């Protein structure tokens, strides 16, 4: 071992003991780097979320923190009845879609300053889509979930959002059905009939129309069978223009 390396070894040994073996009298002056003030903050994002960031997706809260986020698959309160996103707590999406959402939020605020957008679901990596598919296999809900081995849903590209409007207390406005409700009330193609037949109220229809207006005027595309679902681009273009979240 060279003299320089021995010197370094001795210095490390001294530094090592200086934090443990001294009595009160000998206590050395502390420098800020020696002082442990509190436990380190837990990381903001899970490893899974860091993977989404590395993939190129953004957390909408970092772009516009006024937009509400309540990921329904991060809780058991969804049509599956169990948590599908144990490691996903933020609404991730492709950056271009996040910019459109900022526009939609501004548009909504310009019409009703007390109202705000509320996101139920955004990016859904293929591994989670597979889990969802497995849990509906053999149930009547199978027709409402995209088979990850055949067609890919726009959520799997980080290019779709499930969204509603909430009031100033955070309560969602009535829209005529819950998110991920699989019935005629969820459709947007015959809404006048839904009102006429008493399946949804005219107030619920007005709320849907407001949501559709701010979203489509900001560049989103609707989905005929789900009032809450909006695509960044028409799904037919996704395969050529976007990257699937393949993990
Ligand atoms: Zn959706």
Q: Give residue-wise pLDDT tens across range 172-198.
A: 999 999 998 888 999 999 999 999 999
Residue in 124, 139, 230, 227 with CA at minimum distance from that of residue 180: 227
Those residues whose C-beta lies under 8 Å from the C-beta of residue 23, and which sit 6 or more positions away, are: none
Give the structural domain span for 61. Answer: 37-241
Report, as an integer, the average pLDDT of 64-73: 96
Q: Are 221 and 231 in contact (CB under 8 A)?
A: yes
Q: Which residues contact 97 (CB under 8 A, 6 or more apart)?
A: 158, 159, 161, 232
Record the pTM.
Answer: 0.82
pLDDT at residue 60 tops 70: yes
**3 in a structural domain:** no
- Residue 57 alpha carbon to ligand 1 centre in Å: 17
**Residue 6: pLDDT over 50:** no
Per residue in 87-118, pLDDT (tens digit) is 999 999 999 999 999 999 999 999 999 999 99
164: tokens are 């509603």
Per-residue pLDDT of 196-207, as tens digits, reads 999 999 999 999
Q: How far is the CA of 38 from the centre of ligand 1 (A)?
A: 41
- Flag whether 147 is in a domain: yes
Which residues have CB less than 5 Å away from ligand 1 (the ion)? 162, 229
Whether 5 maps to a domain, the answer reads no
Number of domains into which the chain is organized: 1
Q: Name the average pLDDT for the chain.
A: 86
Q: What is the CATH number of the domain that holds 73?
A: 3.30.1380.10
Name the least confident of 2-16, 23-37, 38-52, 68-82: 2-16
Q: Which two tokens stand for residue 1?
A: 């071992």
Question: pLDDT tens digit string along 114-139?
Answer: 999 999 999 999 999 998 888 888 88
On whether residue 22 sits in a domain, the answer given is: no
Q: Does residue 237 belong to any structural domain of this protein?
A: yes
Distance 11 CA to ligand 1 centre (A): 60
- Buried b / exposed e across 216-230, counting CB within 10 Å, b at 16+? eebbbebbeebbbbb
> Considering the domain boundaries, does residue 29 fall inside one?
no
Residue 26 lies in a domain: no
Q: Is residue 7 part of a domain?
A: no
Residue 116's nearest CA partner among 59, 175, 57, 65 is 65
């Amino acid at each position: 071992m060279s003299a320089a390396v021995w010197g370094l070894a001795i210095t490390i040994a001294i530094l090592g003991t200086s934090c443990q073996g001294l009595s009160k009298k000998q206590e050395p002056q502390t420098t800020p780097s020696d002082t442990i003030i509190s436990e380190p903050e837990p990381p903001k994002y899970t490893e899974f979320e860091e993977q989404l960031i590395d993939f190129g997706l953004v957390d909408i809260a970092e772009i516009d923190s006024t937009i509400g986020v309540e990921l329904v698959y991060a809780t058991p309160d969804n049509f599956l009845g169990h948590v599908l996103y144990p490691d996903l707590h933020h609404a991730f999406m492709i950056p271009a879609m996040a910019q459109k959402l900022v526009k939609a939020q501004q548009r909504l605020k310009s019409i009703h300053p007390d109202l705000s957008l509320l996101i139920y679901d955004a990016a859904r990596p293929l591994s989670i889509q597979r889990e969802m598919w497995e849990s509906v296999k053999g149930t009547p809900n199978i027709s409402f979930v995209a088979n990850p081995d055949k067609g890919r849903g726009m959520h799997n590209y980080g290019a779709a959002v499930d969204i509603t409007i909430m009031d100033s207390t955070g309560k969602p406005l009535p829209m005529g059905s819950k998110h991920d409700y699989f019935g005629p009330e969820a459709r947007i193609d015959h809404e006048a009939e839904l009102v006429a037949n008493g399946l949804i109220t005219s107030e619920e229809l007005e709320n849907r129309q407001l949501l559709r207006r701010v979203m489509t005027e900001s560049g989103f595309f609707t989905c005929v069978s789900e009032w809450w679902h909006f695509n960044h681009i028409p799904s037919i273009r996704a395969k050529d223009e976007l990257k699937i979240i393949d993990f």
